[in-house]
Structure 1
Amino acid sequence: MANTFSPNVVALQMCSSTNPLQNLIWLGEQLINLPAVRPLLVCLPESFLVFSKDSHASYLVGQKSTDYQQQLSALCRKFDIWLAAGTLPISKENGKYLAASLLFNSCGKVVAQYNKIHLFDVNVADKTQSYHESAATEAGNEVVVVDSPFGKIGLSVCYDLRFSGLYTSMQHLGAELILVPSAFTIVTGAAHWHVLLKARAIETQSYVIAAAQVGQHENGRETFGHSIIISPWGETLAELPTGTGFISHDLDLNRLNKIRRDMPILSQQRFREHLL
């Protein structure tokens, strides 16, 4: 039976520092001021826990990932929230770490883990100029869609946004809302952020929730912001262009189901055999 109620979703926009404890304290302060409705899904941006100056620093944080997960679990129980924890590093014995996106339920249990598949190895006309994420990050290889009180949630991260096949695969697995925690650069954000997010929402007929990093960071990076919630019809439902804080919206799965009934693109897809 289709989900027929309209729970609330929140996207937190952050300017994460190089200090995990400082970022967790800021998160706890924000959770106090969130909407009182329950169930509530809180979405965090990529690298919310630590925005390190170098990969070695991220690896060291990733070695303590279990401790940080326990702290996040405690926040979920304290505030009675589901938490889509952007990404945090989980270190591997091979010297690399996963850019892991964890979904916690309101009991503090991790119900899903998505490891970022597409790694940001590009040249950009900004202060950093060259990015080589794969040098220290181990790519994931699994498409993740999970049941929740909010509908079926598909997990992705930042640079994944440019690879539409991943999102079509999530659509075929039943995704109804898709999360895109991100730390887009100023240059790529200004050029492509809105159009890519709206394209993913329209082509999958899903809600898209993109919590973003924003502003000038301690590590020298500058990120685009513009956290946004987009409808399955491609409408902007809420957006925070600059500054830290949160946006929220009530999801309407009845409307999603009507859009899918009126324009049944999933059943009309003729290239299923080429999907992941």
Structure 2
Amino acid sequence: MPKIAVLQMCSGIDPDANMDVIETAARDAAKQGAEVLFTPEMSLLLDRNRERAAPWIDSGDSDEAAHLLSIIAAKGFIDLAVGSMPVAAGDGRWANRSLYCRAQGGDPVTYDKMHMFDVELATGEHWRESSAYEPGRKVVTVENTPVGRLGLTVCYDLRFPALFGELGNRRCDAIAVPAAFTKPTGEAHWHVLLRARAIEASAFVIAAAQVGHHADGRETYGHSLVVDPWGEVLLDMGGDAPGLGFCDIDLARIAEVRAQVPSLANRRAIPG
């Protein structure tokens, strides 16, 4: 039964400081027997000031950071499911990119967030992710991880069932949903959406989240969760503080749930 670690972060505008937090967590998680460490969306740099963030992203420092994350995984003997980080994507655009770095080395598996967070909330909070970021175009799974076949998503992707339907079609054993949810949307939707996606895919959902008041002025909801294929919450890290949580993943639970409610097998194409 693999043990995973979930890192709840309050990432700021200093990538080096954020990297130190991840490296320390990887070392501590490995010492406590975890085989994979999951981190939130924008683990390396959480900064809504794009002029301030641009030099780090566009200079290639983000590429160097990706290389360092692979080294951390190898040094710590633990896989790293890095929720996401901003990287240059060409033509002056950026990508919100997840990386899966294996303890045994090799190039990371990458996934670019597909759905851009373009919203205007009743609180006055508004976001236009598409003004700087290029949407991803590929569904990505990682084979042969300690938690089986792992599907990769990022934050706002959670609201789009078609992506999770495809991950279900691919029989993912677990799906990562790293996030930096706002507090209003988190309070209303976070738990119910994550539980629904786990139930629909009959898979574990692992959602490392940002939490608290950040250096760029935003506030995030926290409540990093692990949900089992039946929709039961196995871990909820709360909304108060960063930290490192642990959860045992009983992979036999997937077959038990799919035998009881074989919704993936019963799925039919909807006529156009």
Calculate the TM-score normalised by the size of structure 1.
Answer: 0.92
Q: Where in structure 2 are the equivalents of 1:217-236 lying within 5 Å?
A: 217-236=214-233
CA drift of 1:39 comes to 6.3
CA drift of 1:105 comes to 0.5
Poorly superposed stretches of 4+, deviation over 6 Å: none
CA drift of 1:273 comes to 7.8
Q: Where in structure 2 are the equivalents of 1:110-259 lying within 5 Å?
A: 110-126=107-123, 129-147=125-143, 148-241=145-238, 242-259=240-257
CA drift of 1:248 comes to 1.3
Equivalent position of 1:56 in the other structure: 51
Deviations 1:110-135 (A, max 9, x none): 342110000000012346x1100000
Deviations 1:211-234 (A, max 9, x none): 000000010100000001000000
Structure 2 CA distance, aligned partners of 1:206 and 1:108?
Answer: 27
Question: Unaligned stretches of 5+ in structure 1?
Answer: 1-5
Structure 2 CA distance, aligned partners of 1:39 and 1:29?
Answer: 14
Aligned residues: 268
The answer on whether the counterparts of 1:210 and 1:229 sit within 8 Å (CA) in structure 2 is: yes
Structure 2 CA distance, aligned partners of 1:132 and 1:253?
Answer: 38
Structure 2 CA distance, aligned partners of 1:143 and 1:171?
Answer: 12
Q: Which of 63, 67, 92 matches 1:66?
A: 63
Question: Unaligned stretches of 5+ in structure 2?
Answer: none
Matched position secondary structure for 2:96: strand
Structure 1 CA distance, aligned partners of 2:225 and 2:81?
Answer: 15
CA drift of 1:146 comes to 1.7
Structure 2 CA distance, aligned partners of 1:66 and 1:258?
Answer: 41
Q: In terms of mean alpha carbon deviation, does 48-57 or 178-187 score higher?
A: 48-57
Equivalent position of 1:40 in the other structure: 35
Structure 1 CA distance, aligned partners of 2:180 and 2:164?
Answer: 19
Structure 2 CA distance, aligned partners of 1:76 and 1:232?
Answer: 28
The answer on whether the counterparts of 1:42 and 1:84 sit within 8 Å (CA) in structure 2 is: yes
Matched position secondary structure for 1:152: strand
After superposition, the Cα gap between the structure-2 partners of 1:139 and 1:171, relative to the gap in structure 1 and judged at 3 Å, is same
Deviations 1:64-102 (A, max 9, x none): 222101211111011101001111111023111000001
Q: Identity rate of aligned residues, in percent?
A: 38
Structure 1 CA distance, aligned partners of 2:262 and 2:113?
Answer: 29
Deviations 1:220-273 (A, max 9, x none): 100000001000000110111121112111111111111112211111101278
TM-align CA RMSD: 1.6
